Amino acid sequence: MPAFDYAPAPESRSIVDIKPSYGLFINGEFVDPVDGNRFKTISPASEEVLSEVASAGPSDVDRAVSAARKAYKSVWGPMPGRDRAKYLYRIARIIQERARELAVLESLDNGKPIRESRDVDVPLVAAHFFYYAGWADKLPHAGFGPDPRPIGVAGQVIPWNFPLLMLAWKIAPALACGNTVVLKPAETTPLTALVFAEICQQADLPPGVVNIVTGAGETGAALVNHPKVDKVAFTGSTEVGRMIAKSVAGTRKRVTLELGGKAANIVFDDAPIDQAVEGIVNGIFFNQGHVCCAGSRLLIQESVADAVLESLKRRMAQLRVGDPLDKNTDIGAINSAEQLDRIRTLSEIGAEEGAERWSAPCILPDRGFWFAPTIFTGVTQAHRIAREEIFGPVLSVLTFRTPAEAVEKANNTPYGLSAGVWTEKGSRTLSIADQLRAGVVWANTFNKFDPASPFGGYKESGYGREGGRHGLEAYLEH
C-alpha cells in the first residue's frame, strides 16, 4: 500500500437527474420515435444501465429535418445576427450554470474522469458558445465577403469521445452563422446532448433551430443522406468519413470531415524533459487516448530515448486508473466493449509483431471496460501499431537520429491531424512545424484547445476547419 493513500473522493451523482427514458428532440420538444424503437445507454465504468433513449428511424429524421428547415426559413435565417448572439450567449451562460451537472453526466455516460469533464470539456463547451456568439453579428467582417449568408440545414454527426464538446464545435458556429441543425450524438453517449436539448428549451431557443436525433449508424446515414440537408458535418472514423464523402458526392451538399489521426509527438534532445514527459502523458492518456488528435506515436531523439522512457514509465506508474467520478482519477473507463476489443486486438498484434509491451502497474476494476496505460517500445514504421489508429491508451515509441528523419517519420502516415514538437530551441520549433503535414502542431505542449484556434486535418484526417474564424467558413455561403 502506498504511504500516502488517497481516500476515495467521489463527486456526488445527486446533481444529475437522469430520466428513465428520453425521446427525440424535434421542433423544440421531446417526442417519441415513430416506430417506437429504443436502446439502452450504459455507464462504461460499471456497465450499469443509465437510461433508455429513442432510436430515430428515417421518418423521425425526416420530421427533424423538416422542423429545422421551417425554423431556418421562418425564424433563424432571417433573424439579425445580434439577436442570434443573444440566444448563444444565453446558452453559454446556462452551460456554465449547469456545469457540474453536465460534467457528472458526461463522466457517467462516457467513462472519462470527472477531472477532465469538469476542468476541460465543459469549460471549453461554454467557451465555444461564447466565442461564436461574439461572431454572430460580425460575419460581414470575417473575411468571407460583405454579406455572407447561412447555408441552411446542417446535418451533424458526432463521436463518443467528447460528446458535449463535439456538439459545441458543431452547433455553435452553425447557429452563429444562421443555420439550423439536426444533430446525431453517438450511440454510446447520447445523454449530455439530450440535456443540451433541455438547455435549448431553457434558453427559449425558437423550436426547430436545434434538433437532436439519437440512434446508431443507420440514423446517421438517414440524416446524412436526407435530400433536404444542405450541409453535412461529421467527426469520427476515417472509414465512416469515406462512406459519407461517397454518399454526398454529386449532391449539392457541402461537407466537412474531421477524421482519424496518428499524431507524432516529437521529442528532441534539447527538450524540457520533465514537461515533455507530461506532454507525452497528456498526449496519449488524456481521455483514455480516445482523442483523434492523440499523440499516439512518440518519436524520441535516440540520444535521450532511454532517459525519457525511464521518466515516462515512472510518471505512468503515478497514473490513477479507476472510477471516473473520483476526483483523483486520471484515467477512466474505455467507452465501450467494442472499443476495448479493438484496443486489445491491436495491442496483441503489436506484441506479436515484436514490439516490447509495458503497462503501468495498476489494479483495474472488475466490472466495466478498462485498459491499463500501455507503451510499446522498439516500434518501427512497419508495425501496424505505428500506422493504425488505436484510439486507446496505447503509445507506440519510435526513435530518430536527425531532425530530417523525425519529419520524414512523422509525415509517413496517411493521417495528418496533429503533431507535437518538444525543444527549447525556438528556431527548430518553427522549422519543424513548417515541414509537418498536420493541421495542428503544438510546440512544447499537447492537446491544447481553444475556441479561437482552428482545428482540422490534412490528408485522410479530413477537410474543413472547426474553431476560430476559419470555422465560420463551413457554415456560410460566400
Residues labelled catalytic: 258, 292
Q: With the CA atoms of 77, 181, 64 and 161 taken in that order, what torsion angle do they form, in degrees rounded to the nearest 10?
A: -170
Closest CA to 178 of 92, 85, 66, 65: 85
Task: Report the interface residues with another protein, using CB under 8 A.
Answer: 2-9, 115, 119, 270-275, 278-279, 304, 306-307, 310-311, 318, 327-328, 424, 444-445
Residue whose CB is less far from another protein, 6 or 21: 6
Kindly report the number of other CB atoms within 10 A of residue 211's CB atom: 31
Q: How far is the CB of 280 from another protein (least distance, A)?
A: 11
Q: How far is the CB of 9 from another protein (least distance, A)?
A: 4
Residue whose CB is less far from another protein, 285 or 458: 285
Q: How far is the CB of 49 from another protein (least distance, A)?
A: 28
State which amino acid sits at residue 139: L
Residue whose CB is less far from another protein, 217 or 426: 426
Residue whose CB is less far from another protein, 50 or 316: 316
Q: How far is the CB of 264 from another protein (least distance, A)?
A: 19
- The DSSP letter of residue 455 is B
At 422 the three-state DSSP class reads strand
The position carrying cell 437510461 is 51
Please provide the DSSP assignment of 317-354 as one string.
TT--BS-TTBTT-SB---S-HHHHHHHHHHHHHHHHTT
At 423 the three-state DSSP class reads coil
The Cα 389–Cα 409 span in angstroms is 16
Q: How far is the CB of 319 from another protein (least distance, A)?
A: 10
Q: How far is the CB of 57 from another protein (least distance, A)?
A: 44
Q: What are the distances in angstroms from CA 432 to CA 13, 280, 387, 406, 442?
A: 46, 18, 21, 9, 11
Contacts of 263 (CB under 8 A, 6+ apart): 283, 293, 294, 295, 296, 297, 415, 417, 418, 419, 420, 438
The Cα 471–Cα 455 span in angstroms is 8
Helices (DSSP H) in 177-216: which residue ranges? 191-202
Residue whose CB is less far from another protein, 7 or 382: 7
Residue whose CB is less far from another protein, 180 or 329: 329
